[in-house]
Chain A
């Protein structure tokens, strides 16, 4: 899980071109909620516990507590200044370390769920990175868990692939990245809310999590560097407005169609072919 700034409310400073983070509320990465809900559904069916893990600053605790109100059993925050500036490779290193520690402390996770990607970084790379580091079978873009047989260590899923859906079967433990829109996060019960309010968030720094090789963490452990950050140049022109005054609705519709064909001449041919094939 990751705490991210609510991107709907991000503003870019018009002069310095930097993100104005002040006052921007943080939320749980929306994609991660599909992962959390799916994890809880299978827990409800087979028992076990759902642990939520995030790496981030101390304030990411808010998101973890929120996850507890939804019904997660335990929350772990991995936080250390050594992790600052991590790219996806360094992030997957740290999270894989924390997951190994979770295994020691709380037992071996059979299924690790992540969202498909985050809304701030959008990379979709950390999940696969963790799987590779922990040598887990990797199921990305999962639309549905068709069958789960924990006693046989077997799982079957529908995976969104290019141009179709793959039905894949593999062995537990697995890392699953859930596709969006496949479930809806529950509200959580009153009990969950009470529990969450009182719960102690397990907080680890690098040393607590048993992560000793700090050269692989944070900025130092990140092969990529950000050279430049800038605001996209606003499109020079705003939309070409079609004047609506004095036109009947039919004439207006004709004008719209003509304007579309004028700007995208190839579309007319495409549409003809489609229409002729009907």
Chain B
């Protein structure tokens, strides 16, 4: 290892005393957002971050930039325009065949080169599998601070990025600062920030930057990419509506009631951990701390008590509807609509109500 004691920025010193920024970091200005557009379409979290980045940049009196990495010139040009319309002043692009699929080595190289050349003070990424993979490498390469999975970003009185994130499985929030290091990095989960309004026709300036890496330089090869659309995998994490069941359903047959409602709603279905152990469903449908985290617009929980492990996986849902026979079940503490009833009786009735409503309106329409 080459961790010799020659490196200097360690003068940062005691963590909780705010010292002046080291001279060589004072040039770091502007707010950047990494734009994810791996398969042609932009991940919505990138626009959400542009919306938030705009506010931070305005508060700091600096510019907002998007960073687009990819291999297709036309796609990148189109995405750049979208970035301007969602609030960016400028866009940095790195276009190279090597960047076709996401690979840590190539994207880390592109990103760290850009940061060293154009020096942003704040760098934001989505807390997606791509964003988290990339952010960890970039922060370690640049030896700067990174706050993961934030739920709130702000500029504090001294002009630093104050990033707030849940910790200990959501039971606490903490606000984290990166002092004396630049850029200040943070990742934010999809759907936590609101989507900004798009200003059609708004334009900005594009800065192109070379990658300087050949395919032969990269050890890791992408042999294949199988899109979820093409496989029959559960897509809980991205579903708009999720219906889930718990032990309150009492049997594997009754769990079918969850599937029936999901089918009418075009929803994904899932359940709490005990259902996997009982063999009522496969583990890729488990929702909660050791399963999937979901952020649907509507979440219907039938016969789930709502222990903390389940709660952390679902509480970012826009609306939680809970059905449980126990009026004191913890799920009623964080659900939006609660019904104290037996899900085994109520689920089929709700399924029928939706079926009727949708077919009536379809005929009328």
Check A190 for interface membership: any CB of B closer than 8 A.
no
Complex CA gap A216/B181 in Å reads: 13
Complex CA gap A241/B362 in Å reads: 30
Cβ contacts under 8 Å, A263 to chain B: 319, 336-337
Indicate the member of B43, B133, B135, B283 with the most A CB atoms within 10 Å. B133
Complex CA gap A168/B222 in Å reads: 5
Q: What's the minimum C-beta distance from B39 to chain A, rounded to whole angstroms?
A: 6
- Cβ-defined partner of A223 (8 Å) among B179, B228, B332: B179
- Contact of B181 with A12 in the complex, beta carbons under 8 Å: no
**Smallest CB gap from B327: residue in A:** A241
Q: What's the minimum C-beta distance from B293 to chain A, rounded to whole angstroms?
A: 10
Q: What's the minimum C-beta distance from B65 to chain A, rounded to whole angstroms?
A: 22
- Given contacts A5-B168, A120-B167, A267-B298, are A257 and B38 in contact (CB under 8 A)? no
- Contact of B145 with A122 in the complex, beta carbons under 8 Å: no
- Given contacts A7-B309, A223-B181, A249-B349, are A242 and B339 in contact (CB under 8 A)? yes
- Given contacts A123-B148, A225-B16, are A161 and B337 in contact (CB under 8 A)? no
- Contact of B172 with A162 in the complex, beta carbons under 8 Å: no
**Smallest CB gap from A221: residue in B:** B10
List A residues 137-171 near B (Cβ within 8 Å).
137-141, 156, 159-171
Check B113 for interface membership: any CB of A closer than 8 A.
no
- Given contacts A134-B1, A222-B145, are A244 and B340 in contact (CB under 8 A)? yes
For chain A, what secondary structure do more than half of its interface residues adopt (helix, strand, loop), or is it mixed?
A: mixed
Q: Which of B74-82, B206-214, B352-360 contacts A (4 or more CB under 8 A)?
A: B352-360
Total contacting residues, chain A, CB less than 8 A: 101
**What string of 1s and 0s marks CB contacts (under 8 Å) between B1-24 and chain A?**
101110000101111100000000
Q: Which of A55-63, A194-202, A269-277 contacts B (4 or more CB under 8 A)?
A: A269-277
Closest 10 CB pairs of A and B: A128-B136, A239-B338, A223-B145, A7-B169, A253-B349, A224-B145, A123-B148, A181-B283, A170-B220, A215-B10
- Cβ-defined partner of B353 (8 Å) among A156, A166, A250: A250
- Cβ-defined partner of B332 (8 Å) among A7, A122, A239: A239
Q: Which of B48-56, B252-260, B284-292 contacts A (4 or more CB under 8 A)?
A: B284-292
**What string of 1s and 0s marks CB contacts (under 8 Å) between A86-115 and chain B?**
011100110011001000000000000000
Q: What's the minimum C-beta distance from A86 to chain B, rounded to whole angstroms?
A: 11
Check B346 for interface membership: any CB of A closer than 8 A.
yes
Could you give 12 example pairs across A and B, Cβ below 8 Å?
A: A97-B1, A122-B165, A125-B132, A141-B129, A164-B230, A215-B5, A222-B145, A223-B180, A224-B177, A266-B297, A267-B298, A271-B266
Complex CA gap A276/B175 in Å reads: 46
Complex CA gap A259/B132 in Å reads: 37
- Contact of A8 with B309 in the complex, beta carbons under 8 Å: yes
Cβ contacts under 8 Å, A53 to chain B: none
Q: Interface extent on B, as a size class?
A: 35 or more
Q: Which of A42-50, A66-74, A230-238 contacts B (4 or more CB under 8 A)?
A: A230-238
Check B139 for interface membership: any CB of A closer than 8 A.
yes
- Contact of A239 with B148 in the complex, beta carbons under 8 Å: no
**Smallest CB gap from B41: residue in A:** A163
- Contact of B171 with A10 in the complex, beta carbons under 8 Å: yes
Cβ contacts under 8 Å, A122 to chain B: 148-149, 165-167, 169
**Smallest CB gap from A218: residue in B:** B15
Q: What's the minimum C-beta distance from A112 to chain B, rounded to whole angstroms?
A: 14
Complex CA gap A132/B132 in Å reads: 14
- Given contacts A122-B167, A213-B3, are A229 and B354 in contact (CB under 8 A)? no
Residues of chain B touching chain A, judged by Cβ–Cβ distance below 8 Å, are 1, 3-5, 10, 12-16, 36, 38-39, 43, 101-105, 108, 128-130, 132-133, 135-137, 139-141, 143-149, 156, 162, 165-181, 219-231, 238, 240-241, 265-266, 276, 283-284, 286, 289-291, 297-298, 307-309, 312, 318-322, 331-341, 345-346, 349-350, 352-354, 357-359, 361-362, 365
Q: What's the minimum C-beta distance from A248 to chain B, rounded to whole angstroms?
A: 9
- Contact of B350 with A224 in the complex, beta carbons under 8 Å: no
Complex CA gap A271/B12 in Å reads: 55
Complex CA gap A10/B167 in Å reads: 11
Q: What's the minimum C-beta distance from B323 to chain A, rounded to whole angstroms?
A: 8
- Cβ-defined partner of B223 (8 Å) among A127, A168, A215, A275: A168
- Contact of A222 with B15 in the complex, beta carbons under 8 Å: yes
- Contact of A125 with B136 in the complex, beta carbons under 8 Å: yes
- Contact of A227 with B338 in the complex, beta carbons under 8 Å: no
Cβ contacts under 8 Å, A85 to chain B: 15
Q: A129-B139, A164-B226, A226-B174 are in contact. List 7 more A-B contacts (CB 8 A).
A: A11-B171, A129-B137, A162-B43, A215-B10, A250-B352, A257-B357, A267-B297
**Smallest CB gap from A164: residue in B:** B227
- Contact of B171 with A7 in the complex, beta carbons under 8 Å: yes
Cβ contacts under 8 Å, A264 to chain B: 297-298, 318-319
**Smallest CB gap from A234: residue in B:** B333
- Contact of B178 with A162 in the complex, beta carbons under 8 Å: no
Check A189 for interface membership: any CB of B closer than 8 A.
no
- Cβ-defined partner of A242 (8 Å) among B139, B177, B312, B338: B338
Cβ contacts under 8 Å, A238 to chain B: 332-333, 338
Check A31 for interface membership: any CB of B closer than 8 A.
yes
Check A219 for interface membership: any CB of B closer than 8 A.
yes
Complex CA gap A122/B358 in Å reads: 40
Q: What's the minimum C-beta distance from A146 to chain B, rounded to whole angstroms?
A: 9
- Contact of A128 with B140 in the complex, beta carbons under 8 Å: yes
- Contact of B220 with A93 in the complex, beta carbons under 8 Å: no
- Given contacts A88-B136, A140-B133, A252-B341, are A168 and B13 in contact (CB under 8 A)? no
Q: What's the minimum C-beta distance from B219 to chain A, rounded to whole angstroms?
A: 5
- Contact of A253 with B174 in the complex, beta carbons under 8 Å: no
- Contact of B167 with A253 in the complex, beta carbons under 8 Å: no
**Smallest CB gap from A210: residue in B:** B1
Cβ contacts under 8 Å, A212 to chain B: 5
